[in-house]
Structure 1
Amino acid sequence: MVQPANVFLPPGSSRYCYKFKVRGRWYRGPTGMTDRREATKFAHRLKAQAKREALLHPSSNFSDMSVRSAAARFVREREDELNDREVPSLSSLRNLKTSERELKMVVEWIGGDTPMSRISIDSMRMITARRKEEWKLTGQGSPLLKTNVTTGIREPVRVSNRTVNIGCELMRSVHIRARDVWHVPVQPIKWRGLMAKEAGPRTREISIEEEDAIRALPTFREGYGPCFSFAIISGLRLDNFVNLKWSQIDLANREIKVIQKGGREHRVPIDDELMKILLKEKGKDDEFVFTYVTQNTYFNKMAKRQCIRNERRRIAREGFTSWFDHIRKRLRLDIRIHDLRRTAGARLLRATGNLKAVQQLLGHANIATTAKHYSHIPLPDLIALQDRTHADIKRRRAEMAFLFQEHAAFPRVTPESLIDR
């Protein structure tokens, strides 16, 4: 059965647009009509014409493209899309660089000159199988070593299934864009069957005892200490809180504005605890909120500059990451920086039971994301809920017993009394 051409009203427009596909190629555009029936007829005529042209000139409809060219074009177009935003988020730009590196590796394995039309499900199976055999690397490019709990020996570890799926998802994006936007002839691929099974969402949060231990360390000093405290209360992501500027803060209205992943604006309310932190940092620097005073003179290899002793510097992303890794290793805690955000959401949920409030604090666009990552109930809370359940059952039993005592003149209904009747 031939699928009819689709017509729809774009948001804020009274004129219909059409959208249909012929031999793997999408056709989109305006009809210029306000009547749905007339717009549908117009779209049907265009679709019939596209089918005739595809039959008469099959080779002129498509042009192939190498995998290298497709990957480069994909990255370039994604970068243009991000730059078109008024304020692109730093995390989006950094993720684009990560995607570029991942795609470069996949292209090398497939072969840069391989045509997109020859990429098949077998090609992608080879890529995923090879990626699973890769070692997880450190920032210096050497294999990451982790202590084996059983043997106590530090051993290299394989990349996670999530890392494997990232390369597959990127190639899927390139494949779909080549098919639907660039009109490149590609083979159909069932991408769902290529994805490795990932672990469930991480539920680790920082306990109060662990937080107190971190605060007791000598390294919990000016700049980094307040930055840590701010993050565990506000629930902001790393890029948002280390790059926070005074221009984003409205102390009078008690509000902080940040640009989240995806370019969305998010507003964080300033409660009393956050206000205390911000007021202590006020006046130390005109631009950035969180700064520190250098304790030694040294050459910063990352920034490629000389740092002078007693010089006030902003806290960079790499600096906070290094500081956090130091305290994590010193206390032997299995925690990550993103666990600060998870802790803020979990504590609010535990105290209020209000999932909507957690969504607003963290700035999730969809409450399903909040429910997936933050609605878990740790064991202590589950015990408390069970105790409340038992107490409620005891209370109801006592009420029923009192009710029967008050109305002793009425016979109690039992299964035996019903049978006697």
Structure 2
Amino acid sequence: MAHKKRDLTTVCKKTGNRIWDFQIDRKRFTGSSGTPDKKIGERMARAVWQEARDEAAERRKAVGRLDMKWREACESYFNWKKDYVTLERDRQHMEWVASVLGENLYVSQIDYKALESLVINMRNRQCLNGQNRGKISNATVNLMTKFVRKILKRCRIDLKCYLPNEPQYGKLMLKVEPRRREMMIEEEIKLRRTAKPDLLDLSLFILYTGLRKKAAVELTWDQVSLIEGVIKFTSKEKYQEIDIIPEVDELLRRALKNKVEGSPLVWTWLADRSWTEPRTGKVFVEGQRYPFSPMGTIHAWRRTCDRADLHNLTIHDLRKTLGARMIRETGSLRDVQLQLGHSNVGVTSQHYAHITPKDTAKRVSQTVSKSLRLIEQAMREEAAREKQGQDDLVDA
């Protein structure tokens, strides 16, 4: 025989409403349903009772489970992943979270409210560099949210930390519109006329291959086979191979003549004056060659764009330009995906599906031309009928 559930509510003598008063793990829970209806009161009380029991069970399971300080959790993740592509950026995110939420922050304290305050703080800060100076993009804010998510995920799954209030990250992800900027032919002419030869070669290499800036700047000669006509490299922790087309072969052979002794890097630049880098103290001597660095490439690119009057054009847009031009000429998302190294065609479609291939444009032109011919034919027939009608009236 089934046992009848005991009532959790009683009648308040003063108001007549159903109220509850019980303890779970020495913690007292009281409340009122606001109605004299027993069914409603019992349903509300049982929901509170069940939630309290679940929390108590979680607390009991959490006894002896690990909690970590934020920095300790991050360093554990960095040591686990070792050297990876976004390590430097992730360290900046670690510092950002600590500066906003406190140096003594524990991972168990990061809940929805804490992460929300972090997102709001980041959106209100000023961007001191980049093309969008004064504004931190939604994509950059989302990178910070994703970093917090992967740190807490490792803490919860691998390190068995107790995270009772882990936030719902999806609700705090900001809407990001894919960047549509590409270099127009008129802008490429300006770039060719303005850029210094070494930077121009590197820029054209990115434009002709579609490599990401970091992969291109850090390309080494052991990744290049001029005999096989192929470049083998790793970008975003994924292995990739691309064929060397004649235009790229010409750029690489020119770079080989300018190779810096003792440096494995492909792309170098010639110092046209002597100067000292104020931040690092490194001395550059006029007439000497030095390998490009990622940050040095960005600075050189911005100076070139300022001289050439190219607005809101980043060096990464050269990669997007190749993808857009390939779509227009071939209409093949698959070919673009393989060349640019996207993880799947869906990623490629997200960035380039808005572009109309030439074949499609040709078919659109044929459709419009046929419509115009039909309109002209209909107008001629209508004019002929009107003329015939007028002639009939004259004969009558």
TM-score, with length taken from structure 2:
0.71
Distance 1:70 1:386, change over 3 A: same
Distance 1:189 1:214, change over 3 A: same
Distance 1:64 1:75, change over 3 A: same
User: Which amino acid letter does the alignment assign opposite residue 299 of structure 1?
Assistant: T
Instruction: Indicate the residue corresponding to 2:103 in structure 1.
Output: 112
Instruction: Indicate the residue corresponding to 1:173 in structure 2.
Output: 150
Question: In 2, Cα distance between the equivalents of 1:341 and 1:358?
Answer: 11
Distance 1:145 1:170, change over 3 A: closer
Match of 2:252 among 249, 257, 278: 278
How is 1:145-224 mapped onto 2 (pairs within 5 angstroms)? 157-186=134-163, 187-198=165-176, 200-217=177-194, 220-224=195-199
The 8 Å contact of residues 269 and 289 in structure 2, kept in 1 or not, is answered as yes
Distance 1:393 1:303, change over 3 A: farther
The 8 Å contact of residues 223 and 315 in structure 1, kept in 2 or not, is answered as no
Question: In 1, Cα distance between the equivalents of 2:319 and 2:204?
Answer: 11
Report the alpha carbon displacement of residue 306 of structure 1 after superposing the two structures with TM: 1.8
Match of 1:247 among 214, 222, 246: 222
Question: In 1, Cα distance between the equivalents of 2:115 and 2:129?
Answer: 26
User: Which amino acid letter does the alignment assign opposite residue 258 of structure 2?
Assistant: K
Of structures 1 and 2, the larger Rg is shown by 2
Instruction: Indicate the residue corresponding to 2:120 in structure 1.
Output: 129
Instruction: Indicate the residue corresponding to 2:326 in structure 1.
Output: 348
Match of 1:321 among 289, 294, 298: 298
Question: In 2, Cα distance between the equivalents of 1:259 and 1:177?
Answer: 25
Distance 1:303 1:122, change over 3 A: closer
The 8 Å contact of residues 232 and 239 in structure 2, kept in 1 or not, is answered as yes
User: Which amino acid letter does the alignment assign opposite residue 210 of structure 2?
Assistant: G
The 8 Å contact of residues 67 and 111 in structure 1, kept in 2 or not, is answered as no
Report the alpha carbon displacement of residue 204 of structure 1 after superposing the two structures with TM: 0.8
Correspondence 1:373 to 2:348: no
The 8 Å contact of residues 221 and 266 in structure 2, kept in 1 or not, is answered as yes
Distance 1:138 1:59, change over 3 A: closer
The 8 Å contact of residues 291 and 313 in structure 1, kept in 2 or not, is answered as yes
User: Which amino acid letter does the alignment assign opposite residue 136 of structure 1?
Assistant: C
User: Which amino acid letter does the alignment assign opposite residue 255 of structure 2?
Assistant: E
Please list every run of at least 4 consecutive aligned residues from structure 1 whose deviation after the TM superposition is greater than 4 angstroms: 54-57, 378-385, 392-395
Distance 1:115 1:275, change over 3 A: closer
Question: In 1, Cα distance between the equivalents of 2:162 and 2:247?
Answer: 58
Instruction: Indicate the residue corresponding to 2:379 in structure 1.
Output: none
User: Which amino acid letter does the alignment assign opposite residue 273 of structure 1?
Assistant: E
Report the alpha carbon displacement of residue 164 of structure 1 after superposing the two structures with TM: 2.3
Report the alpha carbon displacement of residue 378 of structure 1 after superposing the two structures with TM: 6.2
Structure 1 vs Structure 2: percent identity of aligned residues?
A: 25
Distance 1:126 1:270, change over 3 A: same
Instruction: Indicate the residue corresponding to 2:78 in structure 1.
Output: 75
Distance 1:270 1:61, change over 3 A: same
Q: Which runs of 5+ in 1 are unaligned?
A: 1-53, 83-87, 147-156, 399-421
Aligned residues: 315
Q: CA RMSD in A?
A: 3.0
User: Which amino acid letter does the alignment assign opposite residue 88 of structure 2?
Assistant: K
The 8 Å contact of residues 328 and 358 in structure 2, kept in 1 or not, is answered as no
The 8 Å contact of residues 275 and 285 in structure 2, kept in 1 or not, is answered as yes
The 8 Å contact of residues 70 and 98 in structure 2, kept in 1 or not, is answered as yes
Question: In 2, Cα distance between the equivalents of 1:313 and 1:189?
Answer: 47
Instruction: Indicate the residue corresponding to 2:312 in structure 1.
Output: 334
TM-score, with length taken from structure 1:
0.67
Report the alpha carbon displacement of residue 302 of structure 1 after superposing the two structures with TM: 5.2
Match of 1:361 among 322, 330, 339: 339
The 8 Å contact of residues 274 and 283 in structure 2, kept in 1 or not, is answered as yes
Question: In 1, Cα distance between the equivalents of 2:266 and 2:58?
Answer: 64
User: Which amino acid letter does the alignment assign opposite residue 193 of structure 1?
Assistant: K
What are the superposed Cα offsets for residues 276-311 of structure 1, whole Å, 9 maximum, x if unpaired?
222233332164332232211222335532222211
Distance 1:136 1:61, change over 3 A: same
User: Which amino acid letter does the alignment assign opposite residue 74 of structure 1?
Assistant: Y
Question: In 2, Cα distance between the equivalents of 1:128 and 1:164?
Answer: 7
Instruction: Indicate the residue corresponding to 1:413 in structure 2.
Output: none
Report the alpha carbon displacement of residue 321 of structure 1 after superposing the two structures with TM: 1.4
Instruction: Indicate the residue corresponding to 1:51 in structure 2.
Output: none
Question: In 1, Cα distance between the equivalents of 2:190 and 2:203?
Answer: 13
Question: In 2, Cα distance between the equivalents of 1:360 and 1:145?
Answer: 30
User: Which amino acid letter does the alignment assign opposite residue 282 of structure 1?
Assistant: L
